[in-house]
Amino acid sequence: MPASTYKYLLCFSAFLLLFGCKPEKIGENTEVEAELSLPERPNILWLVAEDLSPFIPSFGDSTIQTPNISRLAAEGICYDNFFSPSPVCAPSRAAISTGMYPTHIGANHMRTGPWYANISDEEAAKRSRFMPEGISFYEAVPPVGVKMMSEVLRGAGYYCTNNAKMDYQFRPTVSAWDESGRQAHWRNRDPNQPFFAVFNFEVTHESRIWRKAEDSLWVDPELQVPIPPYLPDTEVGVKDVRRMYSNIREMDFQVGEVLKELEEDGLLDSTIIFWYTDHGGPLPRHKRLLYDSGLRVPLIIRFPGKQMAQTRNDDLLSFIDLAPTTFSLTGAESAYPLDGLAFLGPQATKEKRKYIRAAADRFDAQYDTNRAIRDKRYKYIRYYQPEKSMFLPVAYREQMAIMQELHRLKESGEITEIQAQWFRDKKPKEELFDTQSDPHEIKDLAQDPAYKEILAELSAECDRWVNSFEDTGLMPEPELIEKLWPGQKAPVVNSPTAEMNDGRLSLSCATEGASLAYRFIANADENKGAGSWQVYTKPISVPGNQQVEFIADRIGYKASSIVTYAQ
Torsion, CA 536, CA 542, CA 547, CA 550, rounded to 10: 10
> H or E element: which one contains 4?
helix 3-20
The residue among 79, 496, 462, 412 whose CA lies nearest residue 290 is 462
Phi–psi pair at 464, nearest 5 degrees: -60, -45
- Which residues lie below 8 Å from residue 176, measured CB to CB, with a gap of 6+? 148, 150, 151, 154, 160
Q: Which residues pair with 454 in a beta bridge?
A: none
Return d(Cα 458, Cα 374) in angstroms, integer.
Answer: 8
**C-alpha to C-alpha distances, 551 to 50, 240, 281, nearest whole angstrom:** 33, 48, 40
- Kindly report the CA angle at 457 between 453 and 460, in degrees rounded to 5? 135
Return d(Cα 566, Cα 551) in angstroms, integer.
Answer: 15
Return d(Cα 540, Cα 325) in angstroms, integer.
Answer: 30
Phi–psi pair at 117, nearest 5 degrees: -65, 145
Q: Which residues pair with 504 in a beta bridge?
A: 501
Return d(Cα 292, Cα 83) in angstroms, integer.
Answer: 8
The strand ranges marked E within 184-235 are 195-201
- Kindly report the CA angle at 463 between 167 and 483, in degrees rounded to 5? 45
Q: Which residues pair with 272 in a beta bridge?
A: 44
Coil, helix or strand at residue 519:
strand
- Which residues lie below 8 Å from residue 127, measured CB to CB, with a gap of 6+? 111, 113, 114, 137
Return d(Cα 65, Cα 245) in angstroms, integer.
Answer: 10
Return d(Cα 560, Cα 89) in angstroms, integer.
Answer: 29
Return d(Cα 175, Cα 177) in angstroms, integer.
Answer: 6
Please identify every residue annotated as catalytic: 89
DSSP string for 273-293: EEEEESSS-SSTTTTTSSSHH
Half-sphere exposure at residue 512, Cβ-oriented, CA atoms within 13 angstroms: 5
Q: CB–CB of 340/324 below 8 Å? A: yes
Return d(Cα 145, Cα 513) in angstroms, integer.
Answer: 4
